[in-house]
Amino acid sequence: MVDQTNASITKIQTSPLHLQNVTKRFGSVMAVDHVSLEIPRGSFTTLLGPSGCGKTTLLRIIAGFYTPDEGNIYLDDQRVDQMPAHQRGTAMVFQDYALWPHMSVYDNIAYGLRMRKVSDDEIRKRIEGVMQLVEMPAEFLKRKPTELSGGQQQRVAVARALIVQPRVLLLDEPLSNLDAKVRQRLRVEIRRLQRRIGITTIYVTHDQEEALSMSDKVVVMNRGKVMQVGTPEEIYHKPTTAFVAEFLGVTNVLRGTVAVDGDTVQVAGTSIHSKGTPGNPVTVIFKADEAIVTTFDSTSASTVAFCGMLEEIFFIGTVYRHYVNVNGEMILVDSPTRVDGKDVRVTVPRDKIKVF
């Protein structure tokens, strides 16, 4: 990103965001279920979850496009959930960018300022500054959105949002329509831009890599509820629910039961030390890159071993993915080297196994 910026753009007055018990129903469907969140000033927070989990609905409630059935929303100490969208101090970048096809890039970016009766001179100054921020040459200002690539349209959408100097920037899966290489590059640019201007940002995605690589804080959602909130490292390495553990990364999920002694669980023909009520069902989870597959006994006191049959090996670019059948359960192991054989052992460090 370039270092030259316009002062009127860099002095955005950003705000913390506070959600209290926010709820939204569509008929019998609970789209957002009593969500309470603290979004720190200047942070990059990602709402992560599968399709239909409520993340986009929650973003639209914050933006003012939906009114919550219950709960309150505060920017700083100002309650905003009953305010119209244009008075809240938020700006949104949509998944499809929502650019006016009949307008030039200049007019698209200027639209929000013209609605606010900003002078033409001030609009020109701000557009000059915001075009530098999003690294677009001035020659693009005369073009129509249809004359731009997907990545360029995304930059225009970000510029249009930033030029109104919002207190909170909202982005609804803004990279989902781009190819992989462009998406990788724009992830870096969006994050660097956010850090430079220090704006409170809420980003919606279903892409785990995107959430983990870009965020200060990740909010994992499912069925309208917040399942876990934490740093990317906390979410990935210390999941608090089976859903979060299973959703993040290439994960093995095995079903078992607590043994009669109440001190171990039985899963895929193996005993794992974990206390519980005898006979109760459990879910055992560990990640594919935390396991090791060998053709010999490599177990120790600090590991758990599963004996199985190696069925398939796929090369997926950076690792070999091994598919091991263990008592009818398929276990995935990602390894930088290929392991050939029939009878194999899968070993997992005990501290990497989560029992729910």
Higher-scoring residue by pLDDT: 55, 11: 55
Q: Is residue 324 part of a domain?
A: yes
**Sign of the CA dihedral running 4, 10, 16, 19:** negative
Q: Do 233 and 255 sit in the same domain of this protein?
A: no
Which of 242, 270, 286 is where one domain is finished? 242
What mean pLDDT do residues 149-156 have? 90
The count of domains in the chain is: 2
Q: Count CB atoms within 10 A of the CB of residue 327.
A: 13
Q: Is the pLDDT of residue 3 over 50?
A: no
* 121 Cβ contact list (under 8 Å, min separation 6): none
Q: Do 263 and 160 sit in the same domain of this protein?
A: no
Which of 242, 271, 303 is where one domain is finished? 242
To the nearest whole percent, how much of the chain has pLDDT over 90? 81
Q: Is the pLDDT of residue 89 over 70?
A: yes
Q: Is residue 230 part of a domain?
A: yes
DSSP state of 31: E
pLDDT digits (tens, 9 = 90+) for 240-286: 999 999 999 889 999 999 998 999 999 998 999 999 999 999 999 99
Encoded tokens for 305: 């071993």
Q: Is residue 194 part of a domain?
A: yes
Cα distance between residue 183 and residue 78, in whole Å: 35
- Going from the C-alpha of 185 to that of each of 1, 180, 192, the distances in angstroms are 11, 9, 11
Q: Is residue 2 part of a domain?
A: no
Q: Do 236 and 266 sit in the same domain of this protein?
A: no
Q: Do 159 and 269 sit in the same domain of this protein?
A: no
Cα distance between residue 250 and residue 259, in whole Å: 28
Q: Is residue 106 part of a domain?
A: yes
3-state SS track over 34-87: EEEEEECCCCEEEEECCCCCCHHHHHHHHHCCCCCCEEEEEECCEECCCCCHHH
Helix axes 105-115 and 120-133, enclosed angle (nearest 10): 130
pLDDT score recorded for residue 147: 95
Classify strands 70-75 and 17-26 as parallel, antiparallel or unpaired.
antiparallel
168 in Cβ contact with 104 (< 8 Å): no
Rg (alpha carbons) of the chain, rounded to whole number: 24
Q: Do 12 and 48 sit in the same domain of this protein?
A: yes
Which of 242, 270, 293 is where one domain is finished? 242
Q: Do 278 and 157 sit in the same domain of this protein?
A: no
Encoded tokens for 336: 């930088």
Q: Do 138 and 29 sit in the same domain of this protein?
A: yes
Strand ranges for 133-209 from DSSP E: 168-172, 200-205
pLDDT score recorded for residue 293: 96
39 in Cβ contact with 202 (< 8 Å): yes
pLDDT score recorded for residue 249: 83
Q: Do 176 and 92 sit in the same domain of this protein?
A: yes
Q: Is residue 311 part of a domain?
A: yes
Sheet containing 281-287: give its strands across.
270-273, 264-267, 251-258, 281-287, 354-355
Question: Residue 159 sits in a domain of what CATH number?
Answer: 3.40.50.300
pLDDT score recorded for residue 250: 84
Q: Is residue 88 part of a domain?
A: yes
Q: Is the pLDDT of residue 7 over 50?
A: no
Q: Do 210 and 285 sit in the same domain of this protein?
A: no
Q: Do 234 and 273 sit in the same domain of this protein?
A: no
Q: How many Å from the N-terminal Cα to the C-terminal Cα in the chain?
A: 44
Which one, of 253, 229, 252, lies nearest residue 49 by Cα?
Answer: 229
Cα distance between residue 323 and residue 258, in whole Å: 26
pLDDT score recorded for residue 96: 85
pLDDT score recorded for residue 12: 63
Q: Count CB atoms within 10 A of the CB of residue 234.
A: 14
pLDDT digits (tens, 9 = 90+) for 21-72: 999 999 999 999 999 999 999 999 999 999 999 999 999 999 999 999 999 9
Question: Residue 286 sits in a domain of what CATH number?
Answer: 2.40.50.140
Q: Is the pLDDT of residue 180 over 60?
A: yes
Q: Count CB atoms within 10 A of the CB of residue 285.
A: 20
Residues of the domain holding 90? 7-242
Q: Do 274 and 230 sit in the same domain of this protein?
A: no
The average confidence (pLDDT) of the chain is: 92
Q: Do 276 and 344 sit in the same domain of this protein?
A: yes
Q: Is residue 298 part of a domain?
A: yes
Higher-scoring residue by pLDDT: 86, 2: 86
